[in-house]
Amino acid sequence: MLQVENVDHYFNKKFSFRPNSKWSLPREAYKHPPEPIESLRDMKVSLNACKGQLNRFALTEWSNHTKFTDPSSSIIETISSTCKVELLTQAWCKFYECLYNYPIVSRTSIETRTLNSLHLCEAPGAFISALNYFLYAKHPWIKWRWRASTLNPYYEGNSLDEMIYDDRLIRRTLPNWEFGPDLTGDLRTLHNHESVVASCEGIMLVTADGSTDCSGDPGEQERHVHFLHYCEVMTALKVLGVHGNFVLKLFTMFEHETVSLMFLLNCLFLGVHVFKPCASKSGNSEVYVVCLDYRGYDTVPEVLRKTLMLPYGDGHGESVMFPLDAVSCDFVRQVEDCARLFMNWQRDHINSNVEMFRTEDEDVLCQIRNRKESVAGGYVRKFRIPKGINKRRRLMRSGASRFVHEEEPCSVALPELTIKTGRAVSVVYKSEFGHVTPKIGGDDLIFAAIKSNLPDTYASITGACFSPDDPQHVMQREFLSLVRKCLDCSCDIVIYGVALLTRFLVGVVYILASGFESFVTYESGAILFSKRRDSIDRIKGCFDEISQVYASLKGDKFPVDILEVVDKGILKRGHFYKAISEYNKGLCR
């Protein structure tokens, strides 16, 4: 049964690499295939066998059980009861803990009273918020500027399986975010990597909190997420200034690829530490690699710099960064010690959870509750979180612009075109204007529902005008063309059965609506535009301008398309936004 233990143990899951002056980087990278490291492979088998015990438990019941037993599960509740914290999440707590345990804000930044930071894979922004609070509490005189990159929550082609769709901070600080030339925000593409690097200057801190969905193959999590870790590391190494610091979320260290990546970091930073925050769930493999005092990218030989970038050019490839015979045996032994230490902590916690599953022993249950209370109390005492910060330091001030203004009356005037291009969307995975799964039905049913409301003469655009097999970007060009043709008629226009789920489509409809005295949406999935205004020629001019942009698009690095024609903030205001959302409800669920 559960053993009594000092809660200080949960705050001290740490390992520090012992640097060796004999460690040196090879001349080239990615010239050799990966090799298994027997000792690390055995650890991987052992940990996966331990996790394999969980297959016999119902997922929901097991998740509820581990949430209850997790020593850190009361930290957020305890903080929120006494402190007003923006974006208080588990990630916030983990990074705040890292900041207190290591000198992540460098001596250079403290002495110059300036800190420029870059935050990779950052949505929703908890690391930024935690750093803001830490600076307020410890270094309030530091002038701080930050930039961030993450998968763009507004790009309709980003899968929800990979993306955190929480834009509370992003929508209020949009100029600080770099989504790359294709507007996806995907750091795994070379052009987005180059864009992030070009947008940064004087960076002294980089954080990288990225991960990928490995639920389909959890035993190979390390392999699945390695390429993202590579991209985060290479971006950090290129933007960091000398003596800068880097914090990277990692998982297990069983694979040759990870050993090579860790060797690179140990050769380029004076100090490298591995830390599992108390606020991180004890049963998972998550750790944070804290790299201190960067030697600088100029210390990397030119040939090695070029070959280090090879995976960005050809994807994951079949080669490993460094062959094992180029990595110090002493370093490999230290990786083994580190991997074993964190594996044992994780395995012990999993076995303890298995032992306690469905227990009704009141002494054990009481012990769990007391431990959680002690850990939460210890967290607040150790890290001295300020109860609040002054309004000037808040990231999400109440005066910041918002996209939805419920009280604003409907006023669809001809907007200024704000044409944005990026990677063409093939499939819509998420939308700010409704659900994306089509309802079962058809244009005939919609037409029957609205027929009595239609004028004698009208032009129509229906769902049947488009092939369901066409990519989204092809459909959107056809939609624009049909709208433009409808304007050449002198009659009213009806659109039905066409899901308006992207910024482009909704923007086109907004421009169209500005040319009519009335536009009415029907819950069955139809919009009627009636009583043309005198501005209709200007509307035609807008659509012709969009068509000209289409004609000039060139996609050398990625397939390019128009993603936005009217500022998104305008599209999400008042009654127009409500009307489009209600229209889409009739078509999607």
pLDDT band at 396, cuts 50/70/90? low
Encode pLDDT of 61-88 as tens digits: 999 999 999 999 999 999 999 888 999 9
* Check whether domain 8-386 has CATH 3.40.50.12760, yes or no: yes
pLDDT at 4 over 70: no
The SS3 call for residue 531 is: strand
pLDDT single digits (tens) 231-254: 999 999 999 999 999 999 999 999
Residue 453 is predicted with a pLDDT of 81
Average pLDDT of the chain to the nearest whole number: 91
Distance, CA of 519 to CA of 531 (rounded, Å): 9
Kindly state the helix (H) or strand (E) to which residue 429 belongs, with its residue range.
none
Residue 435 has pLDDT above 50, yes or no: yes
In the sheet with 526-532, reading across from the earlier edge strand, the strands are 458-462, 492-496, 526-532, 516-522
Annotated binding-site residue? 146: no
Q: What is the DSSP letter of 494?
A: E
| Cα–Cα distance list, 477 to 470, 498, 514, 550 (Å) | 11, 14, 20, 8
345 carries a ligand binding annotation: no
Collapsed DSSP state (helix, strand, coil) of residue 7: helix
| Residues 100-122: tens digit of each pLDDT | 999 999 999 999 999 999 999 99
Domain regions of the chain by residue span: 8-386, 420-587
CB distance 508 to 479 below 8 Å:
yes
**Of 311-325, 327-341, 388-402, 542-556, where does mean pLDDT reach its minimum?**
388-402
Distances from the Cα of 256 to the Cα of 14, 35, 40, 290, 478, angstroms: 22, 6, 9, 20, 49
Does an H or E element contain 241, and which? strand 240-250
* Structure-token pair, residue 568: 């998104």
Counting residues of the chain whose pLDDT is more than 90, the rounded percentage is: 77
| Residue 35 CB partners (closer than 8 Å, separation 6+) | 256, 320, 323, 324
Residues contacting 21, CB < 8 A, separation 6+: none
pLDDT at site 390: 66
**Residues 6+ positions from 153 with CB-CB distance below 8 Å:** 123, 163, 164, 165, 166, 167, 170, 430
Provide mean pLDDT across the span 377-395: 82
Question: 3-state DSSP call for residue 14?
Answer: strand
- Close Cβ partners of 101 (under 8 Å, ≥ 6 residues apart): 14, 275, 290
pLDDT digits (tens, 9 = 90+) for 439-482: 877 777 888 888 888 888 899 999 999 999 999 999 999 999 99
Question: Across residues 549-573, what is the average pLDDT?
Answer: 92
Residue 249 known to be catalytic: yes
**pLDDT of 397 strictly over 70:** no
Q: Please identify which of the residues 13, 249, 276, 568 carries the catalytic annotation.
A: 249
pLDDT band at 48 (very low <50, low <70, confident <90, very high): very high
Q: What is the mean pLDDT of residues 290-302?
A: 97
Phi first, then psi: what are they for 516, rounded to 5°?
Answer: -130, 145
Residues 6+ apart with CB under 8 A from 56: none
* DSSP reduced 3-state for 421: strand
Residue 144 is assigned to a ligand binding site:
yes
Model pLDDT, residue 405: 28
Model pLDDT, residue 392: 61
291 in Cβ contact with 250 (< 8 Å): no
Kindly report the CA angle at 340 between 338 and 341, in degrees rounded to 5?
Answer: 65
Beta strand segments in 76-158, E: 114-120, 143-149
Question: Which pLDDT score, from 0 to 100, does residue 2 have?
Answer: 46
pTM of the model: 0.92
Question: Is pLDDT of 57 > 70?
Answer: yes
Q: Positive or negative CA dihedral for 216, 221, 225, 227?
A: negative
Confidence of residue 28 (pLDDT cuts 50, 70, 90): very high
What is the pLDDT confidence band of residue 400, given thresholds at 50, 70 and 90? very low
Q: d(Cα 304, Cα 416) in Å, to the nearest integer?
A: 48
pLDDT, position 398? 40
b/e per residue 462-480 (b: at least 16 CB within 10 A): bbeebeeeeebbebbbebb
Pairwise pLDDT comparison (318 vs 145), residue with the higher score: 145
In our burial notation (b when 16+ CB lie closer than 10 A, e otherwise), range 357-396 reads: beeeeeeeeebbeebbebbbebbeeebebbeebeeebbbe
Does the pLDDT of residue 292 top 90, yes or no?
yes
Candidate from 28-32, 308-312, 413-417 with smallest mean pLDDT: 413-417
Residue 5: pLDDT over 80:
no
Identify which of 324, 315, 312 has the alpha carbon closest to the alpha carbon of residue 255: 324
In 161-223, the DSSP E strands lie at 203-208
φ, ψ dihedrals at 129, nearest 5°: -65, -45
Mean pLDDT in residue range 411-428: 89
